[in-house]
Chains A and B, each alone.
Chain A
Amino acid sequence: MPSHLVTLILFSALVSTVFALLLRDTTRERVRFGAFAFAAFVVSTLVIGWLTNPFPQ
């Protein structure tokens, strides 16, 4: 896998797709929910990563 970011994006896209299909019924709702879930995964991971950066490993 080329990078952590690509791994995060792949994971978020695949999981969001499954959630959108299972939790919404129409195509329009699925696209909106999938996009929201994807953005939430990526943004929250980046924010948590940034916030925890000062802590020692």
Chain B
Amino acid sequence: MLHDDAATAPRDSSRTVAAGLLAWVWPGLGHLYLRRRGKALILMGAILALFVLGVAMDSRLQLHLGLEDPLALLFSAAQMGIGAPYFLARALGFEAGVVTSVSYEYGNTFTAVGGLLNILVILDALDIARGYKR
């Protein structure tokens, strides 16, 4: 009798949770955990490059958690999608950005898109861990 591995294998929820968490903590780490080394390294390089370039272009990394400014909340949530690099950059003093810089808005776009792309990467890692994707 033939079995579809993805359908019949018992779901290892701890593996799925670990892959999701690792993927959020550091871009590509979830895929590395799932033994997708090539994909992991390229995703890590591309997303970290977006974020580092954004910070170098004087992006703002301020944390907004209140509802008084919903767009700022969404912007912070997008940036936080990249995980540890966001908090590391804040800890290193890149929180305020340079609003007068020519590249300030470009920097904001790069850091927010880096975080949003990492959310897609997290979902991809969850799909692989559940057996929905190769």
Residues of A within 8 A of B (CB): 1, 7, 10-11, 14-15, 17-18, 21-22, 25
Measured in the bound complex, the distance between the Cα atoms of B127 and A25 in whole Å is 13
Complex formed: what's the CA distance from A18 to B117 in Å? Answer: 7
The answer to whether A1 touches B103 (Cβ under 8 A) is yes
Number of interface residues of B (CB under 8 A): 20
Cβ A1 vs Cβ B106 within 8 A: yes
Which residues of B sit under 8 angstroms from A21, Cβ to Cβ?
A: 39, 42-43
* Closest chain A CB from B26 CB (angstroms): 15
Stretch at the interface among B5-13, B49-57, B86-94: B49-57
Contacts of A7 in B (CB 8 A): 57, 103, 106
Interchain Cβ contacts within 8 Å, total number: 36
A14 touches B50 (CB 8 A): yes
A interface SS class: helix
B129 at the interface (CB under 8 A from A): no
The smallest beta-carbon distance between A46 and chain B, in angstroms, is 16
Distance, CA A7 to CA B43, complexed state (A)? 19
A7 to B117, CA, bound (A): 18
Q: List 17 A-B contacts (CB under 8 A).
A: A1-B53, A1-B56, A1-B57, A7-B106, A14-B47, A15-B46, A15-B50, A15-B113, A15-B117, A17-B46, A18-B43, A18-B47, A18-B117, A18-B120, A21-B39, A22-B121, A25-B134
**B50 partner residues in chain A, CB cutoff 8 A:** 11, 14-15
Is B106 a contact partner of A14 (Cβ separation < 8 A)?
A: no
- CB-defined interface of B80-114 with A at 8 Å, one 1/0 digit per residue? 00000000000000000000000100100110010
